[in-house]
Amino acid sequence: MLKQRVLSAIVLIPLVAVIAWLGGWWFTGFVALYAGVTAWELLRLLGMNDFAQPVMWLGVPVAAILVVEGGMPQDPLRLQAFLAGVILVGMVIALFLNRPNAPTDLLLTLGAAIYLGMTLRFLALMRTRPEGLRWLIVMAVTVWVMDSGAYFTGRAFGRHKFWERISPKKTWEGFFGGLITGAIAAALMVAFLIPGGSWWKGAFLGVIVGVVGPLGDLSESLFKRQAGAKDSSNLIPGHGGFFDRIDSFIFVAPVMYLLLQFAGW
């Protein structure tokens, strides 16, 4: 398993780094593809229950298109029109589905697609900001350091359960370990990587990431627990699925983007 994890990382990390460096439609297209695959995984998890039969051929492209729309010049009316159109067309499709729970299937499908498309699109939006590549690096490194800090702190000192009903292995000690290591990493990254950045801004950002990142992880665990699955899929050898690798960013990307926008950083 360790060998598979290392080999997958050796292949994927340079590939993602090059695409992020290229930016533009290269990066937006990559995020859209990633969102589509992640939507397939989430719909597959939802479909493991007897009461749901998600419509894959609708949910996957909707998630991807929402990311693509985020990479275009911003027009709120276009986004609103697309979402309204998807909802209306989806319910028309439900009329033609010969299924006992067609309305539920459609609402689950659209809910999953919008959940992923409307959050992961902020990765594409982040790349369009001034110094967008640098901020993406700050985000990625902070999340990875936070996850690693939480894991090792939890293993070494974990005694008090954090959210046992959803994720029995997580502890409060691990949570605070991730919070502290993430804040330190963000403080250093912002101070040295962002022009005009200061350590206290980075530390504040790291604390925010340290709080919302685990919520993304727990949210994915909620889906997997309902489905009785360990991983979202086995598409990435040694790492599980695409959803498993992006769960924290689903919460971190929109929160961090909006924070930077409203704070004027």
If asked whether residues 105 and 134 sit together in one domain, one would say no
**Res. 104: pLDDT tops 80:** yes
C-alpha separations of 204 from 27, 48, 53, 208 in Å: 27, 40, 43, 6
If asked whether residues 106 and 188 sit together in one domain, one would say no
**Res. 2: pLDDT tops 80:** no
Q: What's the CA gap between 75 and 2, in Å, rounded?
A: 45
Q: What is the pLDDT of residues 155-175, one digit of tens each?
A: 888 888 888 888 888 899 999
Q: Please check whether residue 257 is in contact with residue 125, taking contact to mean a CB–CB distance below 8 angstroms.
A: yes
- What per-residue confidence (pLDDT) applies to 235? 82
Please state the pTM of the whole predicted model: 0.90
Q: Please check whether residue 189 is in contact with residue 138, taking contact to mean a CB–CB distance below 8 angstroms.
A: yes
Domain end residue (candidates: 112, 128, 144): 128
Q: Please check whether residue 93 is in contact with residue 55, taking contact to mean a CB–CB distance below 8 angstroms.
A: yes
The residue-averaged pLDDT of 50-54 equals 80
If asked whether residues 157 and 219 sit together in one domain, one would say yes
Q: What is the pLDDT of residues 108-155, one digit of tens each?
A: 999 999 999 999 999 999 999 888 999 999 999 999 999 899 988 988
Q: What is the mean pLDDT of the chain?
A: 89
**Other CB atoms within 10 Å distance of the CB of residue 169:** 13
Q: Which alpha helices (DSSP H) does the chain contain, by range?
A: 2-22, 24-46, 56-70, 76-96, 102-128, 132-157, 172-193, 199-227, 242-263
If asked whether residues 123 and 222 sit together in one domain, one would say no
Q: Return the structure tokens found at 79.
A: 């986004």
Range of the domain at 185: 130-265
**Res. 245: pLDDT tops 70:** yes
- Who has greater pLDDT, 23 or 234? 23
